[in-house]
Structure 1
Amino acid sequence: MSTRKLSFREALLDPEQMSVTWELVPGRGAREEAQESVAQMAELAARDSRINSITLTDNPSGKPAILPYPLALEAKELGIETLIHFTCKDKNRNDIESELHALARSGLPNLLVMTGDYTTEGFGGRPKPVFDLDAVQALRFIRKMNNGFEIPAHKGSKKLQNTDFFAGAVVSPFKSKEAELMAQYYKMHKKIAEGAQFIVTQLGYDARKFDELKRYMDWYNLKTPLVGNIFVLSLPVAKMMNKNLIPGCVVTDKMVADLEAEKAKGNVKEQQLLRSAKLYAIFKGLKYNGVTIAGHGIGYTDVKHIIEKGEELSANWLDYVAEFDYPQDNGFYFFEKDPVTGLNTNKIVDRSTTGARAKSTMKDVMFSMVHHLALSEKAPLYPMIKKIAKKIDKSSMKKPFTKMEYWSKSIMLECRFCGDCVMHELAYTCPMSQCAKHQRNGACGGSRDGWCEVYPEKQKCIYVTMYEKFKNAGKEGTMKEGYIPPVNWDLYRTSSWLNFFAGRDYNYRKDVEEQEEAKSYAE
């Protein structure tokens, strides 16, 4: 490792380096013990050339906390960079833009863009959830800002000065169902296509899964740097993760039992740190580009020990793989298992014999027929229907037509009537009514065993159902393609059919964006 402290970006993009980020949780309050501790730990991290940045969380578990922004500024003054968790929850797109402008002006470029946890508590009870943009849309927005974001002006438009954000995203290989796992990987493709410059794994303790993710990225020639997640796991936190009380983090029953046995032997902290160092060694052996180290109550000496011990153990990293053999019950893997190493071969599992499939319902078939006959520019009835729609759009028939669409789609498809409909791209599933986080470009990372993070055992993740429908039709691969813009709320409670034919919906906006980008690249 270099003796000069490299920036987070430099370390992550240098194949000879192992980037190290230390996660700190700012907590609730302004000048409480948690915030003072962050400043103290940042000062210690600044003195260690091996720690390239600290990372600050953004209201984890859906609970209120201080924004990362002011503490990131303090850390910068102390001489350490910050990787800011930049979530899409609790703010609409204008607030997201405002925060991005503030971060750019303050010289805080490193962002880990994610959906964010569903809100759980706040002043006066559970707050209203706000998921105006998803992570894919936010990454696209940041990419546009980096290229000079064009905004309306008094005469035409003008470009803002280019920003220099180094934005990454998250993926979870720790999913038990084929549909869940593939939904995660397919969304990762979209994130990278829209500008994710690095990928951080979700938290788990299955070495085969970490190997799978690396092989998957290599298989698809995804050159984006990969960061492994190390959490110094205590028994109380393990039990919370085991019950999915910390969404997305996976600790199996077997691991909880092993931790209980470990506690009985004593020297618990020593064992926790040794486990983390072994995981560090495995990430280095798998040729990950970096790690992020976290854990409740861990200090600088603990992080230092993990780095030093991890480097020491890395030469024999394969010896420790068996200690991270915690597969989920009947869990799906993308590659066949290698019986020698306990990791994976490069042979892809035959998915024609795995996972569930779902047949299209009668309503799916009916709406699909309508779409293919009329609601597509290539549809045979499109020219005629477009003429009729334009006349309806400018006549007294507009209101009754809109009501007819509203009632038919609401009753049959649980439509939220946003007026900017994408259901035909999502297996006739409405993300505005059936996804708690309104995800239009893929699944969030909080599901467990196919169930929605917010409604476990009650509602399946819509992207699980979607994958099963697409797989039945042999079209599941389309889930990694195409970008869906955010809803234009000007269209709320209007006819999405009339908006489509009049060129007001997302299809038109996407075409304009693509034309503008093509022109910009040509210039």
Structure 2
Amino acid sequence: MSERRGFDEILRSRDFVVTFELVPGRSTRTRHYRHIIRFAEEVASKGLFDALSITDNAGGHPALAPEALGRELRRMGHHPIIHFSCKDKNRNMIESDLLALDREGLHTLLVLTGDYPRYGYRGRAKPVFDLDSVSLLRMVSEMRRGFRLSPEVPGGGVELPPIPFFPGCVVNPFKWSEAETLLQYWKLVRKVRAGARFVITQVGFCVRKFQELLFFLREEGLRIPVLAGILVLDIRLARILHRGVVPGITISTELLREVEKESQDPDRGREAALDRAAKLMAICRGLGFQGVHICGAPLDVEAAHELLERSREYLPRWQEFLPQFRDHPRGAFFLYEEDRETGLNRPRRMPLTPKTRRGILYPFMELAHRVFFSSRSPLFPYLRRWADKLAHSALEKYFLHLEYALKKVLFDCQECGDCVLPQMAYLCPQSQCAKFLLNGPCGGSRDGWCEVYPGKRRCVYVRIYERLKPEKRPYYLRDLELPPRDWALFRTSSWLNFYQGKTPRSTEPPEG
């Protein structure tokens, strides 16, 4: 049985699924790796978990490639879930890695953007992010159906056999502002449409946010298995998360103080950490999640067994524990009204904040775009003929310098030649997003700040949302899906490319 059928069948046939996350280190020649192997062997013999997942350079640090460990887990009888990120590979290397995973029979993927690269050999590694999670899911979906190679490529004009990948995606519901919350959920809609077959959430300790995600999916009519991320929170992790070192995960000072107090116990808080995780597992099952994804837990079979048994014991009383999981900042945004009796949500939308003040640049740029760069403009036929004459003439290079000098000043242009400014409220994601993302933000922003430049650069998608809100247009981001950048157009004129029909992406401004 293939990995795809295995995990797919598990999700369809079982009431509640439990997966466990493994984080390999930088070498197979260490005690940590041997510990992972022993743990996996014991788990396989006892049948504790439905699947084991393997991270892909978690935290942006180099580590053992997940397929190496996945190969060993598969031999033990596990259903490995391979974390597959966009951060370190261009699209050609991504395709090669996917073909290698197919050869190894590793078909269950957790597709994600990935953490920004940090420490590497002799300095920080170059961030790649040639694809984002939406375009990567779209690529995997096409491979599931069978790639048709372009006649222009070597060996092209043929259709490759379908590959039975079973891709999932991630979502971070633990966002505390209106813009970040809606942007996360809208991106999830695009991920599901692009081919995600299951969802795993980021970890957190706010039950209203867990339930909020389920309400949103139901409201959107998206029937897809969702696993709640459950963190076994010890004092070491609590201090790291409170400092904001791990993108996308936050805990309050109150929760940190609670864990610090627990760490004074003779077992250094082990019992309390397992108990907290077991209660949250029971709550998530009670809320209607199809499973949980356990993170940060010790590689201890006895502790794992205790965690699972205790969560089953707590299940009939899950509502009693709700008051213990309200970890969110003061003034946090919630998409649905609070049910004061239960501390959960009512399925009724909260009103959004008043529209922000309309800026000057956006309406001006939109007007200029509609006049000069819209196929609906009366000037379009004349400008197209003019562009055809200018292209490949002696004046083309001077026109190119003029275009990019102007756009560099206005937008910090990166000379893509395939411009998406009109879709992005005239904010360039190639210069304003550290990960160059085209289909919505990553899950790492915090309080509206970019995960890579906290306190220095605001998330470009939050800024896009704020620009579009006075125009009553932010909801168009929910359905927008842009193809990846075409590097064949790099350092060519995006204006001439538009008129000559070389840009595959629509350049029409969004409608209200």
What TM bracket, shorter-length normalisation? over 0.9
Q: CA RMSD in A?
A: 1.8
SS of the aligned residue for 1:13 comes to helix
**Aligned equivalents of 1:284 and 1:62: distance in 2?**
31
Do the aligned residues in 1 keep the contact of 2:25 with 2:33 (CA within 8 Å)? Answer: yes
- Which of 45, 53, 56 aligns to 2:54? It is 56
Q: Which amino acid in the other structure matches residue 342 of structure 1?
A: G
Find the counterpart in structure 1 of residue 510 from structure 2.
none
Find the counterpart in structure 2 of residue 435 from structure 1.
433
Find the counterpart in structure 2 of residue 226 from structure 1.
226
Do the aligned residues in 1 keep the contact of 2:111 with 2:168 (CA within 8 Å)? Answer: yes
Instruction: Kindly provide the CA deviation profile for residues 338-363 of structure 1, in whole angstroms up to 9, marking residues without a partner as x.
Output: 0011010011001144xx7353332x
Find the counterpart in structure 1 of residue 360 from structure 2.
361
Find the counterpart in structure 1 of residue 303 from structure 2.
302
How much has 1:31 moved relative to structure 2? Answer: 2.0
SS of the aligned residue for 2:257 comes to helix
Do the aligned residues in 2 keep the contact of 1:171 with 1:184 (CA within 8 Å)? Answer: yes
How much has 1:265 moved relative to structure 2? Answer: 4.6
Cα separation, partners in 2 of 1:318 and 1:401, compared to 1, 3 Å: same
SS of the aligned residue for 2:466 comes to helix
Do the aligned residues in 2 keep the contact of 1:88 with 1:134 (CA within 8 Å)? Answer: yes
Instruction: Kindly provide the CA deviation profile for residues 141-167 of structure 1, in whole angstroms up to 9, marking residues without a partner as x.
Output: 000000101113568611111011111
How much has 1:7 moved relative to structure 2? Answer: 3.1
Do the aligned residues in 2 keep the contact of 1:22 with 1:51 (CA within 8 Å)? Answer: yes
- Answering whether residue 69 of structure 2 is matched by residue 71 of structure 1, we say yes
Higher mean alpha-carbon deviation, 94-103 vs 495-504, is at 495-504
Cα separation, partners in 2 of 1:239 and 1:361, compared to 1, 3 Å: farther
How much has 1:122 moved relative to structure 2? Answer: 0.8
- Answering whether residue 410 of structure 2 is matched by residue 412 of structure 1, we say yes
Find the counterpart in structure 2 of residue 517 from structure 1.
none
Give the structure-2-normalised TM-score.
0.95
- Count of residues paired in the alignment: 501
Give the structure-1-normalised TM-score.
0.93
Q: Which amino acid in the other structure matches residue 346 of structure 1?
A: P
Q: Which amino acid in the other structure matches residue 126 of structure 2?
A: K
- Answering whether residue 11 of structure 2 is matched by residue 12 of structure 1, we say yes
**Runs of at least 5 residues in structure 1 that lack an aligned partner in the other structure:** 1-5, 510-523
**Aligned equivalents of 2:383 and 2:339: distance in 1?**
56
Find the counterpart in structure 2 of residue 498 from structure 1.
496
**Aligned equivalents of 1:377 and 1:35: distance in 2?**
58
Find the counterpart in structure 2 of residue 178 from structure 1.
178
SS of the aligned residue for 2:263 comes to helix
Instruction: Kindly provide the CA deviation profile for residues 273-305 of structure 1, in whole angstroms up to 9, marking residues without a partner as x.
Output: 111111110111011111111215342222222
SS of the aligned residue for 1:468 comes to helix
- Which of 455, 461, 464 aligns to 2:462? It is 464
Find the counterpart in structure 2 of residue 451 from structure 1.
449
**Runs of at least 5 residues in structure 2 that lack an aligned partner in the other structure:** 508-512
Higher mean alpha-carbon deviation, 85-94 vs 303-312, is at 303-312
Do the aligned residues in 2 keep the contact of 1:113 with 1:138 (CA within 8 Å)? Answer: yes
Instruction: Kindly provide the CA deviation profile for residues 165-205 of structure 1, in whole angstroms up to 9, marking residues without a partner as x.
Output: 11111111111111111111111111111011111111111
- Which of 38, 41, 62 aligns to 2:39? It is 41
Identical-pair percentage: 39
Do the aligned residues in 2 keep the contact of 1:418 with 1:491 (CA within 8 Å)? Answer: yes
Q: Which amino acid in the other structure matches residue 335 of structure 1?
A: Y
**Aligned equivalents of 2:239 and 2:196: distance in 1?**
32
How much has 1:369 moved relative to structure 2? Answer: 1.4
Q: Which amino acid in the other structure matches residue 213 of structure 1?
A: L
Q: Which amino acid in the other structure matches residue 494 of structure 2?
A: S
Cα separation, partners in 2 of 1:299 and 1:8, compared to 1, 3 Å: farther
How much has 1:479 moved relative to structure 2? Answer: 0.8
SS of the aligned residue for 1:117 comes to coil
Cα separation, partners in 2 of 1:240 and 1:156, compared to 1, 3 Å: closer
Find the counterpart in structure 2 of residue 403 from structure 1.
401
Find the counterpart in structure 2 of residue 513 from structure 1.
none
Find the counterpart in structure 1 of residue 371 from structure 2.
373
**Aligned equivalents of 1:308 and 1:367: distance in 2?**
60
Higher mean alpha-carbon deviation, 483-492 vs 261-270, is at 261-270
Q: Which amino acid in the other structure matches residue 249 of structure 1?
A: I
**Aligned equivalents of 2:167 and 2:130: distance in 1?**
19
Find the counterpart in structure 2 of residue 382 from structure 1.
380
Find the counterpart in structure 2 of residue 167 from structure 1.
167
Find the counterpart in structure 1 of residue 250 from structure 2.
250
Instruction: Kindly provide the CA deviation profile for residues 428-450 of structure 1, in whole angstroms up to 9, marking residues without a partner as x.
Output: 11111110000100000111111
- Answering whether residue 283 of structure 2 is matched by residue 282 of structure 1, we say yes
Higher mean alpha-carbon deviation, 140-149 vs 124-133, is at 124-133
Higher mean alpha-carbon deviation, 241-250 vs 378-387, is at 378-387
**Aligned equivalents of 2:368 and 2:148: distance in 1?**
37
Q: Which amino acid in the other structure matches residue 454 of structure 1?
A: V
Do the aligned residues in 2 keep the contact of 1:168 with 1:196 (CA within 8 Å)? Answer: yes
**Aligned equivalents of 2:490 and 2:202: distance in 1?**
35
How much has 1:50 moved relative to structure 2? Answer: 4.5
How much has 1:504 moved relative to structure 2? Answer: 1.3
How much has 1:414 moved relative to structure 2? Answer: 0.9
Do the aligned residues in 1 keep the contact of 2:44 with 2:76 (CA within 8 Å)? Answer: yes
Do the aligned residues in 1 keep the contact of 2:39 with 2:299 (CA within 8 Å)? Answer: no
Find the counterpart in structure 1 of residue 99 from structure 2.
101
How much has 1:78 moved relative to structure 2? Answer: 0.7
Do the aligned residues in 2 keep the contact of 1:134 with 1:439 (CA within 8 Å)? Answer: yes
Do the aligned residues in 2 keep the contact of 1:335 with 1:348 (CA within 8 Å)? Answer: yes
How much has 1:394 moved relative to structure 2? Answer: 3.4
Cα separation, partners in 2 of 1:263 and 1:436, compared to 1, 3 Å: same
Find the counterpart in structure 2 of residue 197 from structure 1.
197
Do the aligned residues in 2 keep the contact of 1:293 with 1:303 (CA within 8 Å)? Answer: no
- Answering whether residue 321 of structure 2 is matched by residue 320 of structure 1, we say yes
Cα separation, partners in 2 of 1:166 and 1:81, compared to 1, 3 Å: same
Find the counterpart in structure 1 of residue 187 from structure 2.
187
Higher mean alpha-carbon deviation, 207-216 vs 380-389, is at 380-389
Do the aligned residues in 1 keep the contact of 2:420 with 2:505 (CA within 8 Å)? Answer: no
Do the aligned residues in 1 keep the contact of 2:215 with 2:347 (CA within 8 Å)? Answer: yes
Cα separation, partners in 2 of 1:98 and 1:429, compared to 1, 3 Å: same
How much has 1:366 moved relative to structure 2? Answer: 3.0
